[in-house]
């Protein structure tokens, strides 16, 4: 149970990074909001209670006021939409945290909860939850998504894996300075029976001696790492009757992580 709790805390921490980024963005937007300009505009209007019409039509500042108010409306509307988008992303992250905590017993082998999913949309959710870190590290994301129909899948186990793999790929490229940082996400159907999702990075690669223990609990090459992420991903893959594999040509050659799970179409499950 201690290992289960540790993995759960690790995965909650990953998603909390996204919550913190959204919170910071909303806070900055509120502090620097164009809405503050409304106070200045109203101050000018209140200074002319008896000659407002003359002020707006003849005074140099007054003539500019209607246009300024129109610009404020546009700017504030845009700010509101941007904050709503961030709040929506924050709500998704919080919902995912709730599910990680509520389903922690599933890591001991309980049955999966499956639902209809569009895998490409799920990948985009995982990218959004890592968006702040990807932007800060100047990572270019290449999408190679096949036209995959809606499938039955365990949304939160899949998100757990995708968030971890994307975060790890970003970290693996954090020290690159002589070439672009590129992450490639691929989705395809294999042999009509399996859904395959892969995350490829151009980062530090994996030494041959580490390949056999890359998914072991507690193994990590990071100074601040704990070795929980890939281990929990491997367990989640097994619990979905799939498997997670890693490949690297060695140090400095990048890495490729591939998840394969049984392909279950929505019609098959009906």
List of residues 6+ apart from 135 with CB closer than 8 A: none
Residue 228 has a pLDDT of: 64
* Domain co-membership, 195 together with 259: yes
* Domain co-membership, 66 together with 173: no
Tens-binned pLDDT, residue by residue, of the chain (270 aa): 444 555 566 667 777 877 888 888 899 989 988 888 888 889 888 988 899 889 888 888 889 999 999 999 999 999 999 999 889 888 888 887 877 666 555 444 445 678 999 999 999 988 887 877 788 888 999 999 999 999 999 988 898 899 889 988 998 998 887 788 999 999 999 998 999 999 999 999 998 888 888 888 766 666 555 456 788 889 889 999 999 999 999 998 999 999 999 998 887 665
* Domain co-membership, 135 together with 77: no
- 74: Cα within 13 Å, side-chain hemisphere: 6
> What range does the domain containing 135 cover?
112-269
Residue 77 C-alpha from the chain's centroid: 25
Return d(Cα 197, Cα 187) in angstroms, integer: 5
* Domain co-membership, 67 together with 122: no
**Do 29 and 100 form a contact (C-beta atoms < 8 A)?**
no
Residue 265 lies in a domain: yes
* Domain co-membership, 75 together with 152: no
Residue 195 has a pLDDT of: 96
CATH number of the domain residue 202 falls in: 3.30.565.10
Tokens for 152, please give them. 């039955």
Residue 168 lies in a domain: yes
* Domain co-membership, 57 together with 26: yes
Write down which residue in 65, 99, 133 finishes a domain: 99
* Domain co-membership, 73 together with 138: no
Write down which residue in 35, 70, 99 finishes a domain: 99
**Do 4 and 107 form a contact (C-beta atoms < 8 A)?**
yes
Domains contained in the chain, number: 2
* Domain co-membership, 142 together with 259: yes
* Domain co-membership, 145 together with 256: yes
Write down which residue in 51, 73, 99 finishes a domain: 99
- 231: Cα within 13 Å, side-chain hemisphere: 18
Residue 220 has a pLDDT of: 65
For the entire predicted model, the pTM comes to: 0.65
* Domain co-membership, 127 together with 193: yes
Residue 5 lies in a domain: no
* Domain co-membership, 264 together with 185: yes
Residue 229 has a pLDDT of: 78
């Amino acid at each position: 149970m201690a290992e289960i709790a540790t993995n759960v805390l690790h995965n909650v921490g990953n998603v909390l990074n996204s919550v913190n980024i959204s919170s910071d963005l909303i806070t900055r937007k509120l502090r620097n909001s164009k809405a503050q300009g409304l106070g200045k505009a109203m101050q000018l209007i209140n200074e002319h209670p008896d000659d407002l019409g003359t002020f707006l039509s003849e005074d140099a500042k007054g003539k500019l006021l209607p246009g300024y108010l129109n610009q404020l409306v546009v700017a504030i509307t845009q700010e509101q939409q941007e904050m709503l988008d961030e709040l929506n992303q924050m709500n998704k992250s919080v919902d995912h945290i709730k599910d990680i905590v509520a389903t922690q017993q599933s890591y001991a082998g309980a049955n999966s909860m499956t639902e209809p999913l569009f895998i490409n949309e799920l990948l985009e959710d995982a990218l959004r939850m890592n968006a702040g870190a990807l932007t800060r590290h100047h990572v270019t994301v290449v999408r190679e998504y096949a036209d995959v129909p809606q499938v039955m899948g365990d949304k939160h186990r899949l998100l757990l894996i995708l968030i971890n793999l994307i975060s790890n790929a970003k970290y693996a490229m954090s020290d690159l300075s002589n070439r672009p940082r590129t992450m490639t996400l691929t989705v395809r159907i294999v042999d009509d029976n399996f859904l395959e999702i892969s995350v490829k990075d151009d980062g530090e690669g994996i030494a041959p001696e580490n390949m056999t223990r890359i998914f072991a609990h507690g193994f990590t090459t990071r100074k601040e790492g704990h070795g929980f992420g890939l281990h929990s991903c491997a367990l989640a893959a097994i619990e979905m009757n799939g498997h997670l594999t890693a490949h690297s040509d060695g140090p400095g050659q990048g890495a490729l992580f591939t998840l394969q799970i049984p392909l279950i179409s929505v019609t098959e499950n009906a």
